[in-house]
Chain A
């Protein structure tokens, strides 16, 4: 079947010069794109060389990991994780996680307010400052917070709670701010029009809109904090992490695997509880 070159008048086309040439690869754009890809590949291979990554060890690893798991970590010593001492540390971990999440969220609410572009009292100073604080708190890894607080305050759960608090401030602060930025401004304007001050505008115009979302974020924050809480003890900040470290140092591999199992199970439970609670909150809206 032949394609007619002449086009009837009704096609609606401006039918100037019909294109005769079309190439997928065009000079500047394609060069940039493939240049970028090439650059990426060069960076990757350079990384492998620079980091001295032994590729042969990487490819032999799979068998080694298999034997490692089956011979040295299996079976987990379940008795160990049912000992009262260990169970007490689990309770400690849970307490740390929700205290950290709670304190973090209490601090994150004003941070979210100041860091939300539409509601921030001062877009010039307070807004970037709040954003920066939230970003810093989030960027510094929870283990670094834990180490810092242990250095300053000494061993113990207080350091852990504070480390988790810092982590949650950053985590929830960012989400809170984003949530506030997504509100409808109509009610806010209405409350402002009554002559209310900014605090009252927050209480009556903003919080009713974000209450449910904040609760959901709060529960999620706890869930994430719990995962972090399982390891802060590693650096002396209390909870089950300390047991993990001790057993790793003593090469008690069966106990280590038992602890890992307990962590996975607990995180799963926490995740389940958090999902259930968030669904409840969303429904109760």
Chain B
């Protein structure tokens, strides 16, 4: 029968197409696998000083050194923890101030002069996001010297990208209807901004800022490594004096701090939005 033959042809076609797709897929898998195998070889097998590391037992021994908590250290962690929070908060707020031009220039519908201001804002955002906070901190240590200020600046600059990007997107997605309404009652452009644009953008912005603040606690907790004080400094000190339970204690303190940040951000977000 013709239809049976047609069906058989169809089945063959489908099988052929499937096996071709399978071939392509297995090729991709093979390439990925080879790549991974090669990388594992170069990064882990060849680059490791196996003699220094010793046997599995030796490694476990050094891991075991970290187990335990230095209870005596806790009282000395309060001040650095406070410093860490302060650096994060000040850095976030300074970041908010610095990102105003990036937001203004970076939202397509309000950027004053597209061909110049828009790429400028994008550049600001990209630089901010692509350079790691440690590197920013080193840069600012060179500029203003060791201390909390360098940390605050590093965090501020590092925050620009995300806050500006999200807020600019919120401005681009603005609901035009209230804008029209405020224009229709005879409001000036400034009043349109205050009454129709800000109420829409502000909640988004506050949410983003709180989110960024949470991340910044995590960041500021390590900036001590480059001389900006806080928990990172204590961490380094414990490590250099081989007080390994102390290292664990500092890490636990960081965890608690971040948990606290998450809690605060949860309540603030609930209150605002």
A residues apposed to B, CB below 8 Å:
43-44, 47-48, 50-54, 57-58, 61, 64-65, 68, 72, 92, 95-96, 98-99, 102, 135-136, 139-141, 143-144, 147-148, 151-158, 160-161, 227-228, 230-231, 234-235, 238, 244, 248, 260, 263-264, 267-268, 271
Contact = CB atoms under 8 A, between A and B. Distances in A.
Interface in B9-36: 35-36
B130 A98 contact: no
Contacts of A52: 147-148
Nearest to A143: B222
A17 B58 CA distance: 83
**Main secondary structure on chain B at its contact with chain A?**
helix
Given A52-B148, A139-B258, A143-B225, A152 B47 contact: no
Interface residues of B, number: 55
B43 A155 contact: no
Contacts of A58: 144, 149
Contact of B219 (A136, A141, A151): A141
B62 interface: yes
Contact of A153 (B42, B59, B126, B153): B59
A72 to B, nearest CB: 8
Interface stretch (B79-87, B113-121, B187-195, B203-211): B79-87
29 contacts: A47-B90, A51-B90, A51-B229, A57-B149, A58-B149, A61-B153, A64-B143, A68-B142, A92-B42, A95-B39, A98-B36, A99-B43, A135-B255, A139-B258, A147-B235, A148-B247, A152-B63, A154-B49, A154-B52, A157-B42, A158-B44, A227-B129, A231-B135, A248-B138, A260-B135, A263-B135, A264-B131, A267-B131, A268-B126
A140 B251 contact: yes
A244 B134 CA distance: 11
Contacts of A264: 126-127, 130-131
Q: State the 6 A-B residue pairs at the shortest beta-carbon distance, nearest first.
A: A267-B130, A51-B148, A47-B86, A157-B43, A95-B39, A139-B258
A153 B239 CA distance: 15
Contact of A139 (B43, B52, B127, B254): B254
B168 interface: no
Interface of B: 35-36, 39-40, 42-44, 47-49, 52-53, 59, 62-63, 66, 82-83, 86-87, 89-90, 93, 126-127, 129-132, 134-135, 138, 142-145, 147-149, 152-153, 218-219, 221-222, 225, 229, 235, 239, 247, 251, 254-255, 258-259
Contacts of B62: 151-152
A234 B149 CA distance: 22
Contacts of B44: 99, 157-158, 161
Contacts of A148: 66, 247
Contacts of A228: 132
Contacts of A99: 36, 39-40, 43-44
B144 A156 contact: no
Given A51-B83, A72-B142, A98-B39, 17 more contacts: A43-B89, A47-B86, A50-B86, A54-B149, A64-B143, A92-B42, A92-B43, A95-B42, A136-B255, A139-B258, A140-B251, A141-B254, A144-B251, A228-B132, A263-B135, A267-B130, A268-B130
Nearest to B126: A268
Given A57-B144, A61-B144, A139-B258, A50 B82 contact: yes
Nearest to A139: B258
A41 to B, nearest CB: 11
